[in-house]
Chain A
């Protein structure tokens, strides 16, 4: 799906050009302007609300990247990812508060611990697959968040299971992260690094092994791929990404609570993957943007509707919908998933690819 289509008259003469991520000048210009837009353009608008929405999108991308790795690239369905994000968040928070670790160290520690925890719950993947693996990851979700964190981790430092960090705790060297703008820059760096990391990993031997396992794991084993090792490695990398996402989230919120990492968030992430497109890195971005922006637009729409008396007279439940917006968001999510899976099962990435094909081939139809 990501094969490069070269324009007429452009030929690669060296292997280096063929291997490049950005293969033509057009792509260079496009990507550089995207970077300029993200790093300079968006903050220059000065709208803090936009930055906070972007932060949520970035957090979703980081969280969903691990899920995409497991589901889309290794074929291991996981419904417990929020547990590993929680592990990352709590490790980072407790690391900073209890052990006075600097933030970058606690970030890496969070990733490592979440990765190891993920391997622990990924061990059954050596024995079971399909539905049974789904059940295992679901059990991981509940046992980690509702039991291990609520009962044991909350005892460390007698903080209880939800606590906030004092302002100014999170800092990278002299740069203190305490407002939306600095969180935004941190998010951009983390997201770009993670995407580049996963993208490059997929081009290596490890990535090819994962794709082989996804397509037919028994055949992969027959060909010599050690599927247990690569499945556990996939769980580890996904856990590391989840840990980093969790550690990032606490900088945005300065608050940890098990409420943020419930089973519904795991399901939300799988929904993001499915809507964006399983098996595609761009799908993570598209899905995250869709699932974050659509509820925001809906909230804005409801707000506008409540301002006009005629609409309120026609539909008296609209102000109530705005109050209980959380449930409207969940209902939208459910409906979006069902509709996407019925009518667009390959997701937004596939639809975009089809549109690009159509544009490339126009006026021919094939």
Chain B
């Protein structure tokens, strides 16, 4: 039983970070209709940028804040240079542009920083784990979860109580209506992309603390796609719930399904943890493609 709780709580912690990155993805999709496959590389960018700032001697919190600023700038640039010219083009074109950007970012980062695993030195979080009853959680996980929750809270408050946030919500809901009451779509696109890049940047900075920073952190950012498929592409609470659920399911699968032996025969030798979110995604796509809270698309011929 305690293994079960342990897995769930660790999964929840990591799921908080996935939820943050998934929020950014959903934001881009809702406001500009772009399916961004570069989220993995954006988390990578955030991780390496925060690492650089940290290595320059800036304490961790201001380093994360500076990562936010850099993320916002890169997001604005990307949106202006690469996405705006492609408004109205077919979906595949825009997806492939994000793919091209992801290749470019990953390659440039690898050229600048190399492929070795980099670790935050001195360690950001104390290595003494926290004990809750029988469950042992590393402090990295707890503080990452808290940070992710805080950032999520800030974003939700931003969307609800500021004019800019309301403008973004209005455009995401019905662009024509928002345009007609004076909301500038260009502005909304730019802010949405900036926020998504910021979310991914913070997510990367937090993820980088867990196992060191490596090119493979980008793969973790790719898990945002099962999360949004689970929650529904169009739904912000769906993205958050999806991220948490994917984190939990991934850890449960890793704990229980790895080395599964049925009647003495080793059915699943291992390596389930990496691909289980994609299995979940495939199952969702077979039975409920629009996710838990997504909008069902009705196509007219």
Contact = CB atoms under 8 A, between A and B. Distances in A.
Given A142-B275, A151-B268, A334 B285 contact: no
Given A131-B35, A131-B91, A324 B111 contact: yes
In this complex, the interface size class of chain A, counting residues with CB under 8 Å from chain B, is 35 or more
A178 interface: no
A103 to B, nearest CB: 30
B275 A147 contact: yes
B110 interface: yes
B128 interface: no
21 contacts: A71-B92, A130-B91, A135-B229, A139-B278, A139-B279, A139-B281, A142-B275, A143-B278, A147-B274, A147-B275, A152-B269, A222-B301, A264-B103, A321-B111, A327-B108, A327-B110, A330-B103, A331-B104, A334-B100, A337-B100, A341-B93
Closest 9 CB pairs of A and B: A334-B104, A337-B100, A334-B103, A331-B107, A330-B107, A139-B278, A338-B100, A327-B107, A218-B301
Contact of B100 (A142, A218, A341): A341
Contacts of A334: 99-105, 107
Interface in A123-149: 124, 127-128, 130-132, 134-136, 138-140, 142-143, 146-147
Nearest to A140: B282
A270 B278 contact: no
Interface in A251-274: 264, 267, 270-271, 274
A345 interface: yes
B272 interface: yes
A219 B300 CA distance: 10
A245 B276 CA distance: 28
Interface stretch (B82-90, B170-178, B244-252): B82-90
B225 interface: yes
Contacts of A278: 92
Nearest to B279: A143
Interface in A328-358: 328-331, 333-338, 341-342, 345
A219 B301 contact: yes
Given A138-B225, A138-B278, A143-B275, A338 B268 contact: no
A83 B103 CA distance: 19
A12 interface: no
A222 B229 CA distance: 30
A329 B107 CA distance: 8
The residue in B85, B100, B274 that gathers the most chain A C-beta atoms within 10 A of its C-beta is B100
Given A135-B281, A138-B225, A336-B100, A342 B111 contact: no
A127 B278 contact: no
B94 to A, nearest CB: 8
B56 interface: no
B107 A132 contact: no
A128 B301 contact: no
B54 to A, nearest CB: 23
Given A146-B271, A150-B271, A218-B299, A135 B100 contact: no
A179 interface: no
Given A134-B95, A140-B282, A222-B301, 6 more contacts: A131-B91, A147-B272, A218-B299, A324-B110, A327-B110, A331-B108
Given A128-B285, A151-B271, A345 B93 contact: yes
B96 interface: yes
A33 interface: no
Contacts of B111: 320-321, 324, 327-328, 331
B289 A128 contact: yes
Contacts of B275: 142-143, 146-147
A290 to B, nearest CB: 14
B147 interface: no
Contacts of A151: 268-271
A189 to B, nearest CB: 32
Contacts of B103: 264, 267, 330-331, 333-334, 337
A79 to B, nearest CB: 8
A326 to B, nearest CB: 8
A91 B108 CA distance: 36
A136 B226 CA distance: 10
B101 to A, nearest CB: 6
A270 B91 CA distance: 14
Contacts of B281: 135, 139
A351 B95 CA distance: 22
A151 B289 CA distance: 28
The residue in B96, B299, B301 that gathers the most chain A C-beta atoms within 10 A of its C-beta is B96
B97 interface: yes
Contacts of B89: 341, 345
B286 interface: yes
A267 B97 contact: no
Contacts of B102: 334
B233 interface: yes
A208 B207 CA distance: 49
A360 interface: no
